[in-house]
Amino acid sequence: MKRGEVQVPMQRGSADVVAELDDLRVWFPTSAGVVRAVDGVSLQVRRGETLGLVGESGSGKSTTGLALLRLVDPTTGSVRVAGQDVTGWSRRQLRALRRRVAMVFQDPQASLDPRRTVGSSIAEPLIVHRLVDSSAARRRRVEELLDAVGLRRDLADRHPHELSGGQRQRVGIARALAGEPDLIVLDEPIASLDLSVQAQIMNLLRGLQRDLGLTYLFIAHDLAAVEHMSDRMAVMYLGRIVESGTPAQIWREPAHPYTAALLSAIPVADPQVERERRRVILSGDIPSPVDPPSGCRFRTRCPQARPDCAETDPALVEVAAGHRAACLYAGEAVRAMRVS
Amino acid sequence: MSAPTVSPSEGQLRRAASALRHDPLALTGAAVLVLLVVVGVAGPWLAPSGINDVDVDRMLQAPSWAHPFGTDELGRDVLSRVMVAARVSLQVGAVSVGIALLAGVTLGLFAGYYRGWVDNLLMRCMDVLFAFPVLLLAVAIVAVLGPGLLTAMIAIGVVYTPIFARVTRAGVLSVREQVFVRAAVSIGASDLRIMRRHVLPNIAAPLIVQTSLSLAFAILSEAALSFLGLGVQPPAPAWGRMLYDGRGFVTDAWWLGVFPGAAIFCTVLAFNLVGDALRDVLDPRQLTVNEARRSTG
């Protein structure tokens, strides 16, 4: 089987790489067959950056995030965090890992225990990892964290159902910050929030990153949000990364037809432009991850698919410095889409 | 809105309490239980005469002002004995349901949380216990351990363990799929911590209901065991034992059977009334119906 990514010389396990996935596969056996949720993903998250991961539902982006906390077990491939290979770690070791990597969940209501106060939810990492030695110190730390995420201190004694959606997500972020993790996996942190609140939460996340030097893996299906948040981004389709690069590269010069189609689905605010621009309409749904198409996985929906796309599984290759795409006709196919 | 969990929030518990206050049946049941606890605790001091004051001059007297519940074949005051026996019933209820709660909840938590072979092993054992008729199993256990109050309590506790294990497991199976449990795992919390701090509080409602209903059944089971001579040993008073002792005089001295029987009846009814009312307000489906009514009405 082909490697999902061409190995370029890189500083493996070096200090500025916080977390790294190498040819990760996560397959789930189901009654319908083996679901290949993640099927050969390699990525690196560097200290202080935001890596955006974008894709449709079912693309495997959330599973990729869960794999970084080892909340799902890799079928093959490896997971490295802070230079250590955590792939084979025991349950006990993994509990310590989960102080290094924290997670913010999509639905802030569901991710907070309804029976516990906001303060005790935020304090849980402090207790679990014995980071404070007195209840007074715990209280102080919780207040610091509430301040950091812009919540009033007296909300510590409230229950989640007394808070708004945005406030709850701030609580989720405060809890993720509590253990001072090296990496925070943000799994669709804004998807279930109102539009106005989405912007506030994104600004909060960026502010915290600037002030505390945080590292994010930002998972979303919203291309615009990923572009706004990320230093680098990767586009996933059916368990693979199909394109990666800086948001500017991908936004201006998408090299993979799938990325181009996603971008063209974003409406333009100018009605004149909106009426006249060409949109790429993808037909059909994302194929079943139980039985992915042969060759290029996107060929069944690709407007530029050619005969050899069914034969060859394209590797991620560099199309520009730091910009990679997994398409046999990278760039060319997208240009053809514009012309046609 | 997220999907309703099996558990009520704090607000729901508070609403449950206020709903109970407006339910006359539940209120009556609660009043009887309060009376029972008072009598159970202070019975020996409140009783008009000693429980073992034998007086052959006044044996088998019908209820009168001096002896409201009459006297038995040894001239003992039935009211006093019924009052003191309340303590035995409460003790049996509390201890045996305590045993069942502790054992059943622990087993149910592990079975539901770990699933797989742990679940299979534990729940099949529970099924075996569950397959026996309650009283038959209790009698068998007492027969092995020897009769007496303590063994009766242990036997009843064992008999009611599977119910708590099942109720707990059912709750755990739905709560463990909640995102907040995954969030606790992602923080690095241990399994024991997650079970104790996150799962258990969220399945409290069905357990509270089951506890109140089981108290009634435990008291009834103790009465049956005592009736069979396997529970409290004479001369100590117990309702079931008093029924047994009075059965020979049922045509001549109805009060020997009626008053202890009425005590059992009232106690069991009271626990059931309160239990049913709790179920009505704490049951999630019931609750959503009530809420729907409130929001439309």
Say if the Cβ atoms of A105 and B178 lie within 8 Å.
Answer: no
Q: What is the pLDDT of residue A8?
A: 41
Whether A13 shows a pLDDT value over 50: the answer reads no
pTM recorded for the entire structure: 0.81
Whether A3 shows a pLDDT value over 60: the answer reads no
Q: What is the pLDDT of residue A340?
A: 56
B11 — contact with chain A (CB < 8 Å)?
yes
Question: Which tens digit of pLDDT belongs to each residue from A234-250?
Answer: 999 999 999 999 999 99
If you average pLDDT over residues A169-178, what whole number do you get?
95
- Among B1, B179, B188, select the one facing A98 at the smallest CB separation: B188
B67 φ/ψ sector (left φ>0, alpha ψ -120 to 50, else beta): beta
The domain ranges of chain B are 10-296
Q: What is the pLDDT of residue A10?
A: 43
| Residues belonging to chain A | 340
The overall average pLDDT reported for chain A is 88
Question: Which tens digit of pLDDT belongs to each residue from A206-225?
Answer: 999 999 999 999 999 888 89
High-pLDDT (> 70) share of chain B, %: 90
Question: Which tens digit of pLDDT belongs to each residue from A40-89?
Answer: 999 999 999 999 999 888 889 999 999 999 999 999 999 999 888 999 88
Domain around A275: 17-339
Say if the Cβ atoms of B193 and A128 lie within 8 Å.
Answer: yes
Specify whether the CB–CB gap between A59 and A237 falls below 8 A. Answer: yes
A128 — contact with chain B (CB < 8 Å)?
yes
CATH number of the domain encompassing residue A166: 3.40.50.300
Band (B13; pLDDT cuts 50, 70, 90): low
Band (B10; pLDDT cuts 50, 70, 90): low
Segment 148-167 of chain A within 8 Å of chain B by CB: 159, 161
Segment 94-113 of chain A within 8 Å of chain B by CB: 94-99, 102-103, 105, 107, 109-113
Q: What is the pLDDT of residue A267?
A: 78
> Which segments of A9-114 does DSSP mark as H helices, in order?
61-68, 91-100
> H or E element: which one contains B134?
helix B134-145
> H or E element: which one contains A22?
strand A17-30
| Residue A330 vs residues A241, A263, A315, B7, B116: alpha-carbon distances, Å | 14, 16, 11, 53, 47
| Residue A12 domain flag | no
Matching CATH number, B10-296, of 3.60.9.10, 1.10.3720.10, 3.40.50.2000, 1.20.200.10: 1.10.3720.10
Whether B235 shows a pLDDT value over 70: the answer reads yes
Q: Which position has the higher pLDDT, A125 or B60? A: A125
Question: Min CA distance, A40 vs chain B (Å)?
Answer: 24
Say if the Cβ atoms of B11 and A125 lie within 8 Å.
Answer: no
Q: How far apart are the first and last CA of chain B?
A: 21
Say if the Cβ atoms of B186 and A98 lie within 8 Å.
Answer: yes
Q: What is the pLDDT of residue A44?
A: 93
B91 — contact with chain A (CB < 8 Å)?
no
Q: What is the pLDDT of residue B12?
A: 60
